[in-house]
Amino acid sequence: MPRIWVFGNDVNTDQMVPGRYAPYMLGANDDVRRYAFIEARPDFAPNVQSGDLIIAGPNFGCGSSREYAPLALKRCGVGAIIAPLFARIFFRNALNLGIPCFTADIREQVADGDVVEFDLAAGLITNNGNQIQLPPPEGWMREVWAEGGIVPFYRRHGRFPATGA
């Protein structure tokens, strides 16, 4: 069962993985997971479990466009990130990596450490019997998530997803 990790407003990519750890990101191996929130929240990387959810305030992923920040979260197995507003470049990097991001503010409905049920397909979180319906993403985004990111999607289908734009 996923656990909730609550973060505040304006969580920037330097908090996710400080720039001084950039040399360790070059190989992009599974070790990148150990640098996730290494200084901002040292208990995160050693304790996060596959499928856990990050719940944050607005402007999640602001700052530089460090691609290894969402990569570290992906390697940690984060099941989804839910925030009222994402920095555009972070949102796109997360999508490219297959990390589901939902735009919603549910901080008053969950607490740090809550153990919840999460149905990604339905966009539904159940916390202590209370259901939280997340806004549905566009279908093409779900297709990318299902494949694990934009590159795996392209490799499987030989095309990029049809966005309807």
Asked if 95 and 86 touch (Cβ cutoff 8 Å), the reply is no
How confident is residue 68, by pLDDT bands cut at 50, 70 and 90?
A: confident
pLDDT in tens, 114-159: 999 999 999 999 999 999 999 999 889 999 999 999 999 999 999 9
123 Rama class: left (phi>0) / alpha (psi -120 to 50) / beta: left
What the block records as the tokens of 127 is 């916390």
For residue 165, the model assigns a pLDDT of 55
Q: In terms of pLDDT, which residue wins out, 66 or 56?
A: 56
How far apart CA 159 and CA 65 sit, in angstroms, is 25
pLDDT of residue 29: 59
For domain 4-116, which architecture applies? Alpha-Beta Barrel (3.20)
Alpha-carbon torsion angle 127, 42, 103, 124, nearest 10: -20
